């Protein structure tokens, strides 16, 4: 299934006021797409839309409310005649032991991360059934892994994976011309930790290796034109997932180290974060205390599977020639 070139598309991006969503919206606009920006931060959205020019519009919405998500779709229809790709990025996190986190914080996280994705996907699917297009959900390697002290975040991303896989199968069964992609980033240099609700005694951070948000944006926009089922962003994340699959018990034993890697040395800056109110938006990147990778060679390769397969075949053929030559030499 192929889709329109980006320059002919209208792309809806939720969570567009910061991090991956903001990076995706800017990259899409630079590549010629018309963009609908959606988030809770009205002033920030207006600034970004003005920056991107007449090919961008914005709509203030809380994706945890179905009526707000429907209003985003209605705004896209009224402004640009509809959408071709819908990207569910909006997400929040909470740091701390599960037993200490208030029920209302758990509920708010699930409402945004899971129900926001469900509402966006189902509403987008109703529109795209008629014209074709892409639904792209941003999960995480936490869709496949558990992270102590981010337990409900991991649970929400597991739920997003289950929902996304089911939606893909149902759309395929009915023959709908809609692709469904799950993008699973590893640690990404965004303001997510800075905007998190924090129960820890230290400022939160992300475990390395950390990748730039543009790597995720590039993967999202690739899937908008060339659909793929799943995309992991960050080779380090792929290694974590593989390690857990092969040795789940050993991964469980890493819990103390994973907890330590999520804590900076300084005390909390803003423990309330942006969980219940929009705050700290407007930036693509955060301020991690460790080195940020420039790109992910692994992810770039997975976006071009034919080239990757060709390279693998070439390496295999070379190895066969070398081994065959050695074998022939021994026989001589």
Q: What is the spatial distance between Cα 332 and Cα 328, in angstroms, rounded to a whole number?
A: 6
Q: DSSP assignment of 140-199, as one string?
A: -GGGTS--TT-HHHHHHHHHHHHHHHHHHHHHHHTT-SEEEEEEEE-EE-SSTTTTSEE-
From the list 289, 250, 302, the residue with the least C-alpha distance to 145 is 250
- The question of whether 153 is a catalytic residue gets the answer yes
Cis amide leading into 89 (omega within 30):
no
Catalytic residue, from 153, 199, 211, 291: name it.
153
Spatial distance between the Cα atoms of 291 and 205, rounded to a whole number of angstroms: 12
d(CA 39, CA 20): 12
CA dist., res. 131 & res. 38, Å (int)? 22
Q: Classify residue 267 by its DSSP letter.
A: P
Question: Active-site residue numbers?
Answer: 153
């Amino acid at each position: 299934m192929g889709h329109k070139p980006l320059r002919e598309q209208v792309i809806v991006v939720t969570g567009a006021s910061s991090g991956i969503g903001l990076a995706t919206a800017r990259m899409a606009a630079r590549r010629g797409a018309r963009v609908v920006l959606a988030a809770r931060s009205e002033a920030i959205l207006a600034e970004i839309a003005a920056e991107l020019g007449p090919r961008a519009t914005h709509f203030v919405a809380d994706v945890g409310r179905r009526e707000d998500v429907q209003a985003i779709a209605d705004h896209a229809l009224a402004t640009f005649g509809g959408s071709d790709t819908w990207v569910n990025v909006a997400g929040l996190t909470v740091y701390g032991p599960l037993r200490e986190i208030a029920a209302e914080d758990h509920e708010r996280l699930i409402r945004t991360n899971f129900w926001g994705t469900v509402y966006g996907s189902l509403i987008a699917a109703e529109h795209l059934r008629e014209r074709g297009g892409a639904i792209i959900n941003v999960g995480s390697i936490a869709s496949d892994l558990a992270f102590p002290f981010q337990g409900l975040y991991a649970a929400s991303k597991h739920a997003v994976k289950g929902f996304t896989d089911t939606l893909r199968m149902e759309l395929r069964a009915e023959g709908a011309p809609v692709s469904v992609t799950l993008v699973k980033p590893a640690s990404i240099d965004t303001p997510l930790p800075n905007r998190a609700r924090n129960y820890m005694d230290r400022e939160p951070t992300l475990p390395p290796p950390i990748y730039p948000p543009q790597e995720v944006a590039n993967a999202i926009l690739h899937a908008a034109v060339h659909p793929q089922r799943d995309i992991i962003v960050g080779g380090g994340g792929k290694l974590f997932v593989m390690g857990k699959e092969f040795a789940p018990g050993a991964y469980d034993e890493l819990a103390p180290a994973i907890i330590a890697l999520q804590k900076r040395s300084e005390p909390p800056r803003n423990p309330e974060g942006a969980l219940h109110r929009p705050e700290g938006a407007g930036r693509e990147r955060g301020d991690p205390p460790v080195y940020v990778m420039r790109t992910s060679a692994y992810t770039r390769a997975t976006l071009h599977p034919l080239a990757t397969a060709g390279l693998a075949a070439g390496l295999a053929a070379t190895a066969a020639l070398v081994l065959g030559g050695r074998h022939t030499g021994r026989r001589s």
